[in-house]
Structure 1
Amino acid sequence: MVESRLLAGVGEGDLDRLAQMVGFSLRGCAQGERLLSRGDVGVWAGLVVEGRVRMEAADGLGQTAVIGWAAPGEVFAEAYAVLGDEPLMVDVVADTDGRVLWFDAARLLELSGDPVCAPVARNLSEILARRNVGLSRRALHTAPRTIRGKVMAYLTAAREARGVGEGEWFEVPVGRQQLADYLGVDRSALSRELGRMAREGLVAVAGRRFRIGG
């Protein structure tokens, strides 16, 4: 089984019983395959075992934007699975070939008093809480009206999260396209703005490494 925060604290001997209780279903997926669709109700949560999946949404003009990814060990659609009656607001697509472990998250929380399910239910609650914090963080990063403002909000928070001082180099976990998607801006426009900021001495850029203050 893939290493995952969801299954932390679960012994090998408890996995079979856990699987029976919450309906584990391991399925393969092909790159580009739609795993969940916008509007789906009563979905199960997925744990990525191999590969990567992405969450994407289309606007009224038919433009599609990637709003998130799930890598091996990460969970997706867990909030919708717990609520049960909330229509999915995004499409979930296999970004690569892989495997996903589906499970009944609502049932898991119902059985949180069981000694086998208890640690996994706690882990799922923590994942939901962290996801909520992440959404709040993204709202702060994307609140500025300009691309420059968004970039500085993101980079300042990233530097602080890594505990480095002003003028020191730090690395962000995403590439240029992923950063553009996260901030909700065009990649070319982001690259141009980063270039201007570098020329003005606001930042120094080397791939995924940045330094605020040039």
Structure 2
Amino acid sequence: MESVNLKALTKTEIFAGATEEEVSSMLNCLSAKKKKYQKDEIIFHAGDIVSSIGVMLKGNALIENDDIWGNRSVLDYVKEGQIFAETYACALDEKLMVNVIAMSDCEVLFLDVRKILKVCPNACEFHQNLVQNLLAISAQKNLNLSRRIFHTSSKTIRGRLLSYLSYQAMEREKEEFDIPYNRQQLADYLGVDRSAMSNELGKMQKDGLIEVKRNHFRILDVD
């Protein structure tokens, strides 16, 4: 395997709390493999059966679902240090229902999930912490999915935008922020038409609710 930055790996969510020495030992135990992807390249295809967890070392990716009619839904956004495909990797022989697509040039470290879930033959001290980290990450992703369901529960585009933007402001504890999506990606995430959403954003600006420039938002009317 190509060399990896052990110090950077200690800052990833899956290896949180580990030393560089512990990470180095675990990489051998977990049959770690590093692979590079170009922007817009598909990392995982819907229909694939995976047995490895992906750790985003560099770059970012989208997790999206396309139905047979071509309708697209953005389900999540993978940033540096985060993991993906862990649910499907843990569910043996379960076919992926999503595509994982590189949004920029990426470097991904793949870890064999079967070796994470089983007792390490080398009795690595950090192995139990690794499993605990995986459980914590899975719980957080369940919360993220619940939030998306909440954001898309409104029947109106404005309602969905208000729900999403309100959460972003609350999460950051400020009324001015950037979101990780461009217009098309935000529309896909909220399950609405891009043109209709852009029109609604324009109306919300005229109504004095927000200011928006590309992916930068400012909440104006908080009364």
State whether structure 2 residue 159 is matched by structure 1 residue 149.
yes
Are the counterparts in 1 of residues 65 and 99 from structure 2 also a CA contact under 8 Å? yes
Q: For residue 154 of structure 1, report the CA deviation from its aligned partner.
A: 1.4
Q: TM-score, normalised by structure 2?
A: 0.84
Match of 2:106 in 1: 98
| Amino acid corresponding to residue 205 of structure 2 in structure 1 | A
Q: TM-score, normalised by structure 1?
A: 0.87
Q: Which runs of 5+ in 1 are unaligned?
A: none
State whether structure 2 residue 144 is matched by structure 1 residue 137.
no
- 1:118 and 1:209 map into 2 onto residues whose CA distance is 41
| Amino acid corresponding to residue 186 of structure 2 in structure 1 | L
Q: For residue 74 of structure 1, report the CA deviation from its aligned partner.
A: 1.1
Are the counterparts in 1 of residues 72 and 188 from structure 2 also a CA contact under 8 Å? no
Are the counterparts in 2 of residues 176 and 187 from structure 1 also a CA contact under 8 Å? no
Are the counterparts in 2 of residues 84 and 106 from structure 1 also a CA contact under 8 Å? no
Return structure 1 stretches of 4+ with deviation > 6 angstroms.
none
State whether structure 2 residue 118 is matched by structure 1 residue 107.
no
SS of the residue 1:16 aligns to: helix
The one-character-per-residue Cα deviations of 1:1-42 (angstroms, maximum 9, x if unpaired) are 333111111111112220121111111222333221211224
Match of 2:13 in 1: 5
Q: For residue 88 of structure 1, report the CA deviation from its aligned partner.
A: 0.5
Match of 2:60 in 1: 52
Match of 1:189 in 2: 196
Q: For residue 126 of structure 1, report the CA deviation from its aligned partner.
A: 0.9
SS of the residue 2:49 aligns to: coil
Q: What CA RMSD, in Å, does the superposition of the two structures yield over aligned residues? A: 2.1
Are the counterparts in 2 of residues 147 and 193 from structure 1 also a CA contact under 8 Å? yes
Q: How many residues align?
A: 209
Q: Percent identity?
A: 32
Are the counterparts in 2 of residues 36 and 93 from structure 1 also a CA contact under 8 Å? yes
State whether structure 2 residue 132 is matched by structure 1 residue 122.
yes
**Counterpart pick for 1:84 among 80, 84, 92:** 92
Q: For residue 65 of structure 1, report the CA deviation from its aligned partner.
A: 4.2
| Amino acid corresponding to residue 116 of structure 1 in structure 2 | F
Are the counterparts in 1 of residues 73 and 189 from structure 2 also a CA contact under 8 Å? no
Q: Which runs of 5+ in 2 are unaligned?
A: none
Match of 1:21 in 2: 29
